[in-house]
Amino acid sequence: MVQRKFLQDLFWLQLLNWLIKPFWILVLENTVQNRLGEEVYGSYFVVFNFSLLFTIIMDMGMNSMITREVASGKHPVVLWKAGFPVKLLLSAAYAVFTILVGLSQGLPITILLLVVLNQMLLQWILMFRAYLQGAGKGRTDAWFSVLDRVIAILLCLALIRGNGFSGREGLMWFALCQTAGYAVALVFIAWKVHRELLRNAYAVEGGNLHPIGAVLRGSLGFALLALLMAGFTRVDALMLQMLLKDGSFQAGVYARGFRLLDAGLIFPVLMSTLLLPAFTAKAFQRKELSQLAETGTMVMLLVALPAAALGFFYAGPLMGLLNPDATSAQGISVLGWLMLAYLPMSMVYVFGTLLTALKKLRLLNMLACCSLALNMLLNLVLIPRFGALGTAWSAAATQSFFCLSCIWFSRGELNGFSALHVVKILLSALCCAALAFLLSTLGCVWYAQAIGALALWLLLLLSGKLHPDLHLKQFLSGRGAQG
């Protein structure tokens, strides 16, 4: 029953996000970059990634803690009364620290201020979504996961139609469209969560305000983990800027490759928001926990494996689709290696989430710390010689190390996890690759090869032969789903 509700919520969450977010990342952001050019957009990409490095100051792991605690049965009101003043203080600390450090690094003040504001609004939205996720309201959370992007897309399309994106001023308008989207979404989700979960906030016994230090201590492990993972995932663009004379241009090249990876990460990121409360609820029922982990692994492999393979082998044509005028051998190689990194990054969202639900935060932080050190070392060696391509190699190596470490340390927590289905998926992947190769020898164009391989993959999936929980009816049946 847990697996069924998980798959139903996953289906609707993914459906809504794949209708909206790929358009934002692959079409709208790509159009903006094409109009602004590599150097101007690259400067924005550096500021954006810089702001992400310090969002942990604002979160301090509170969102993950809220989801886990609500899922384990704690009343949302108790968490709200304890966490609200802490969130306000942390938001202010984030803004001051990020702006001061950014100015010391010579980042443009206008874009920096807007990006910081956007990150603050987003973090508050994510906090309210954490309550919905912990309460099992997957359908409601799915709608709020795309609302801000829908609003921003409509505003950006209006500006594109009126030739509103050009030069440094265009960056400001791009950031302002996102500000408007976040602000409207925050108002609506705050109203929804208050109405359904927090209406009687001051009438619940035991909801007295907790000391700020107690709240922070409870979320410190989550905070450190988020900081370290943001470090070895997002520090690349900043290091390109610092180590190379043409750092903004190289960051722009890296941004093109990262855009497709970022679009692909929609699936595992959203899936992890459902896995964390589900794993937490079954933390002490090892058989059901193992079954859920097995289902999650199969779902992730069925999506991540073909995505990584297509991104690696067809990097050239895919880069040409993003921008025919900006295609270069370096950009194609960057995209290929980043998409190869997509597979281990996706699996981290299963096994890393499992270890988080089991409160193995000290272990995860040690692994993340090692990964950050490895990433920075590889970047220091590779960036001066290979530029953005060296950063892509570093990302692939670091993500693989972290993924394999999480899998290795998860194996003792699972009882009855079957590797048979993994073998079936790998064999099926080889069959799909063989079909693509056969079509290439017949002179078929690249997209015909890709469509043929994906069609065979989809046929195997919908047949339910790869895994008993993954039959088509599991995704389309709405019975029993709540939220």
The three-state (H, E, C) secondary structure of 342-370, written as one string = HHHHHHHHHHHHHHHHCCCHHHHHHHHHH
Estimate to the nearest angstrom the gap between the alpha carbon of 196 and the chain centroid: 27
Estimate to the nearest angstrom the gap between the alpha carbon of 313 and the chain centroid: 23
Angle at 308 (CA atoms; ends 139, 470), nearest 5 degrees: 45
Handedness of CA 432, 436, 442, 445 (dihedral sign): positive
Judge whether 104 and 447 are in contact, CB under 8 Å: no
Handedness of CA 378, 381, 386, 387 (dihedral sign): positive
- C-alpha distances (whole Å) from 137 to each of 9, 10, 193, 288, 369 are 9, 12, 10, 21, 34
Domain ranges of the chain: 2-417
Q: Which of 86-111 are b and which e, b meaning 16 or more Cβ less than 10 Å from the residue's Cβ?
A: bbeebbeebbeebbeebeeeebbeeb
Instruction: Tell me what pLDDT residue 466 has.
Output: 63
- C-alpha distances (whole Å) from 45 to each of 40, 241, 309, 414 are 9, 10, 26, 40
Angle at 138 (CA atoms; ends 410, 190), nearest 5 degrees: 115
Instruction: Tell me what pLDDT residue 6 has.
Output: 65
Instruction: Tell me what pLDDT residue 458 has.
Output: 81
Q: Which residues of the chain, if any, have pLDDT below 70?
A: 1-8, 162-167, 199-219, 322-328, 416-419, 464-483
Instruction: Tell me what pLDDT residue 468 has.
Output: 59
Judge whether 31 and 161 are in contact, CB under 8 Å: no
Q: How far apart are CA 73 and CA 69, in angstroms?
A: 7
Instruction: Tell me what pLDDT residue 479 has.
Output: 42
Residue 130 exposure: Cα atoms within 13 Å on the Cβ side? 21
Estimate to the nearest angstrom the gap between the alpha carbon of 97 and the chain centroid: 24
pTM metric for this prediction: 0.69
